[in-house]
Structure 1
C-alpha cells in the first residue's frame, strides 16, 4: 500500500469544485452549478491545490485553463464521480424515486398537515412522501429535508420562507368546559396549560386582553411541547393557548374565549434557498402554498 493511500482524500466539496470548474473552465459557472458563490469555488480550489502541492488551473485575466496536472487528473476524477453515482443509483434508486422529505413538529403534523397531505396523496399518488418530526429548534436545518414547516419570525438565513398565515393565539379547552367562560376573569381557579417556546404565552395573552396577573389566581401545568397541552385540554385537564390554525381540524377542542391575540411569531413553509428543488418537492410546495386559505 502506497504512502498516498494512507492519507485522507481531500474533502468532497473541494473535489466537486475542481470537477465543475475544470469542466466549465469558469469559477462563476461552477458556483452556479453547485449553489455557492464564485469566491467559495475559488477558495476551495486554492485549498485543494495547497493540499496537492500543485496548481490545477492557470488564471488568465478573463479566463481559466487547466495545467498539465489538472488535465491529467480530471478524467480519473470524473470517472470516480460516475462510478459513485452509478453505485448510489444501484442501492438507492434514481433521484426521482427517493421520497420528498418534509420536517416539522408533531403538533403541526397532526393538526394542520395531516389533512393536506392526505389530499395531496390522493392527487399525486405517484410521489412518495416522508414526514420527519422535529421537536427542538436545533432539530431543524436544510440537511436531509426538501421542505420544512418551522415556527418563528421567518428570518432564518439561507432559506426561502413562506408564511402559513396570520399568527393568532386563542385559549382552547374541551367543548363542555368552554361554556363556563364569558370573560377572562372566569379563568380564575382553572388550570392554565403552558407550552414553552412561544412569544405569546399566558402572561402576554392575559395582559393583551386586559387581565394582567390573572395567572397568579390559576393553577399551572407546564409541558415542553404544545401537542401535550392540546391533548390535556381536550381531556378537560385545563385550558391551552394555541394558534387558531392548529385546532381548525379538531372537534375535541373549542375556543374558550373569542379574544384572539396576534403574535409576531408563526408557522412558515421553508426550503433551502440555494438548492434547486426537485420537481416532486416543487409540487408539494405549490400544493401547500395554494391551500393556505383553506
Structure 2
C-alpha cells in the first residue's frame, strides 16, 4: 500500500487547515461538511496522529498539523508548477465554465456564438453540474450557480431577478386560462428548488388544486421542459429560461418571485488567467447590456 494518502484526503486537510472550518472547506471544495470531516478522520487514521483539535464551536491545528501544513501546501504548489512546465502552462488550457444543463441549453447557447465571434482565440470547455455538491471552485474557472449568492470565497454577479411561472406546449395552453384549469393536467416537478409547484399553488391556486392534478417528478429542469414541450404536462420554470423558446408558452401570467436566482460565480482566491478574466468580463458586460 502506498504511504501517500489519497489526494481528496490531502485536499480536505489543507483546505480545512487554511480556513479552520470543515463547513468552509466543504463549500470551497464543493462537498458537504460531513464529507470533509470523514476524509480528515480517515487521513488521521492513516497517519496515526490527530491533525485537528476539535472544540464545540471552533477548530484548531495540533502541533503535527501545524508542522505538516506548510509542507503540503508547498507540494501542491510544486505540482501545479510542474504540470504547467510539462504540459505547456495553464495559459494554453481551455477556460472551464460549469453550470447546470438547463442553463447551458436555455441561456448560454443563446450567447456563446457572440462570444466566439468576439473572442475566437479563447478555447472554452463546458462542464455540466446538476446537484449542489457538483459545484465548487475545484476544476472550474467560472460557474453559473443557483442560490442566494452567498458562497464564501466566491465573487457572485446576479443574472438578474427571476420568478417561477407555468409553461407548456402551445396546444395545451389553449385550455388553460386560469389556475383552476390545471385540474386534470400533469404537473411536472423539478427537484432542488426552494420555490416549486407547492409554493406556486399556495400563492395562486384554490385549496385542494394539487390533489386534482397528476404529478411527475424529474431530477432536472431539462427533462421537465422537454416533457412540457411534448405536451406531457405543465412545468414550472424560471421566467428567463422560458424566454425565446418557440416550443413553450406561458398560459398564465402569474409569476412567483423567488429569493433564489442564477449567479455568475468565480473564486476570489488566487490569480485568474487572462482568458478567464476576458470571459468573465464579456459575460458581465452582456448582463449589463441586457439590463440596460
TM-score normalised by structure 1 residue count: 0.71
Quote the offset at 1:289 in angstroms.
1.5
2:272 is matched with which residue?
Answer: 277
For each residue in 1:218-238, what CA deviation from the matched residue of structure 2 results, as whole angstroms up to 9, or x when unmatched? 111111111100000000000
Q: Let me know the Cα RMSD of the aligned residues.
A: 3.0
Task: Give the counterpart of 2:241 among 241, 246, 249.
Answer: 246
2:88 is matched with which residue?
Answer: 93
**Structure-1 separation of matches of 2:92 and 2:117:** 18
Quote the offset at 1:209 in angstroms.
1.7
Tell me: CA distance 1:48–1:170, structure 2 relative to 1, closer, same or farther (3 Å). closer
Matched, 1:108 2:103: yes
> What SS is found at the alignment partner of 2:245?
coil
Quote the offset at 1:212 in angstroms.
4.0
**Structure-1 separation of matches of 2:167 and 2:267:** 34
Greater Cα shift, 264-273 or 279-288 = 279-288
Quote the offset at 1:213 in angstroms.
3.1
Tell me: CA distance 1:286–1:280, structure 2 relative to 1, closer, same or farther (3 Å). same
Which aligned segments of 4 or more residues in structure 1 are displaced greater than 3 angstroms? Answer: 6-9, 46-51
For each residue in 1:123-180, what CA deviation from the matched residue of structure 2 results, as whole angstroms up to 9, or x when unmatched? 1010000000001110001101110111111111111111111121110001121122
1:1-294 pair list within 5 angstroms:
50=67, 81=78, 85=81, 87-89=82-84, 91-292=86-287, 294=290
For each residue in 1:91-133, what CA deviation from the matched residue of structure 2 results, as whole angstroms up to 9, or x when unmatched? 4223211111010010110011112122111110100000000
Structure 1 residue runs of 5 or longer lacking an equivalent are 1-5, 14-42, 57-76
Quote the offset at 1:8 in angstroms.
6.0
Tell me: CA distance 1:122–1:257, structure 2 relative to 1, closer, same or farther (3 Å). same
Tell me, yes or no, if the aligned pair for 1:104 and 1:149 is still in contact at 8 Å.
yes
> What SS is found at the alignment partner of 1:255?
coil
Tell me: CA distance 1:252–1:47, structure 2 relative to 1, closer, same or farther (3 Å). same
Q: Which is higher, the Rg of structure 1 or of structure 2? A: 1
Tell me: CA distance 1:212–1:125, structure 2 relative to 1, closer, same or farther (3 Å). farther
Aligned residues: 233
Quote the offset at 1:7 in angstroms.
7.4
Tell me: CA distance 1:189–1:96, structure 2 relative to 1, closer, same or farther (3 Å). same
